[in-house]
Amino acid sequence: DADVTQTPRNRITKTGKRIMLECSQTKGHDRMYWYRQDPGLGLRLIYYSFDVKDINKGEISDGYSVSRQAQAKFSLSLESAIPNQTALYFCATSDFGFTGELFFGEGSRLTVL
Amino acid sequence: SQQGEEDPQALSIQEGENATMNCSYKTSINNLQWYRQNSGRGLVHLILIRSNEREKHSGRLRVTLDTSKKSSSLLITASRAADTASYFCATDAFGGGSEKLVFGKGTKLTVNP
């Protein structure tokens, strides 16, 4: 099984719908992240969490919310999806410490019509 | 915001040739990382180089860092078709933690058999 698992892997939805992307990890890491990838724009940080009680906004948090249900679970929600939120979404984790290495899930491709 | 910028945006070479990709960034860093992404998949960490290091090797990968020029290069020697992927550099902020890694837009490498 993958260390960082994202569900769903693919989702097509309509404008205005609420969408939740889920992430679970078995690496035992405290730090979890949600990134968004758009063609030609690289990865941009949406939200990150240092531990269950710590949630921080990234550079593009508007229109998104997150929930850290447990050390191993970090969910991203789009309360009312819009077409420009069509993108590839990645969850990642990292260990406490200064190695800086991120471990990524396989991504969730979201299409908003 | 600080960001790594990769150059070139795309690179096409023949199997067996060397591939060199460059990354420039704007502000002081603690470390710089390189990641690989196969098409539509999650990113995979390749190598991390700290600001007090000038060169680092891992298998067929060689990374250099020039903090005076705020630049890094990734060299892949004796490339293989399986090296076809996008490559991203990621930088953190001086005094900050790895939870705020900022990714560049990537270099798309194609290795032709």
Query: What are the structure tokens assigned to B2, written together?
Result: 């600080």
Check B42 against A109: CB less than 8 A apart. no
As a whole number of angstroms, the distance between CA B46 and CA B77 comes to: 14
B2: pLDDT strictly greater than 70? no
- A106 → closest Cβ in B42, B103, B106: B42
| pLDDT of res. A97 | 45
pLDDT band at B68 (very low <50, low <70, confident <90, very high): very high
For residue B26, what pLDDT band results from cuts at 50, 70 and 90?
A: confident
CB–CB contact B44 A104 (8 Å): yes
Q: Report the alpha-carbon distance of residue B7 to residue B59 in Å, rounded.
A: 22
Task: Give A100's contacts in chain B (Cβ within 8 Å).
Answer: 30-31, 33, 48, 92, 98, 101
B72-103 pLDDT per residue, tens: 999 999 999 999 999 999 988 654 444 478 88
pLDDT of residue A98: 38
Q: Which of B21, B24, B46, B99 to mutate to test the interface with A (most CBs of A within 10 A)?
A: B99
Residue scoring higher pLDDT (A21 or B40):
A21
Looking at residue A109, its amino acid is R
Q: Which residues of A touch B100 (CB under 8 A)?
A: 45, 48
Which pLDDT band holds residue B17 (cuts at 50, 70, 90)?
very high
Nearest to A101 among B33, B41, B103 (CB): B33
Residue B13 has pLDDT above 50, yes or no: yes
Per-residue pLDDT band for B34 (boundaries 50, 70, 90) equals very high
List the single residue in B with minimal CA-CA distance to A40: B105
Closest partner residue to B42 (CB to CB) among A44, A48, A104 is A104
Mean per-residue pLDDT over chain A, rounded: 92
Angle CA B58–B98–A9, to nearest 5? 85
Give B45→chain A minimum CA distance, Å: 7
Q: Taking a C-beta distance cutoff of 8 angstroms, is the pair A59, B1 a contact? A: yes
Distance CA B31, CA B91 (A): 6
Query: Residue B98: its pLDDT value, please?
Result: 43
- In degrees rounded to 5, what are phi and psi of residue A85? -95, 5
B42 touches chain A (CB under 8 A): yes
pLDDT at residue number A1: 65
* Confidence (pLDDT) at A95: 85
CA closest to A39 among chain B residues: B105
What's the CA gap between A49 and A68, in Å, rounded? 8
CA distance A80 to A14: 9
* Residue B6 pLDDT level (bands cut at 50, 70, 90): confident
* Half-sphere exposure of residue A11: CA atoms within 13 angstroms, side-chain side: 25
The yes-or-no verdict on residue B64 having pLDDT over 70 is yes
Q: Which residues of chain A have pLDDT under 70?
A: 1, 96-99
Residue of A nearest to B105 (CA): A42
pLDDT at position B93 is 62
Dist CA A68 CA A30 (whole Å): 11
What's the pLDDT score for residue B7? Answer: 86
Cβ neighbours, 10 Å, residue A87: 20
d(CA A92, CA A2): 12
Task: Look at residue A99 in the predicted model and tell me its pLDDT.
Answer: 53
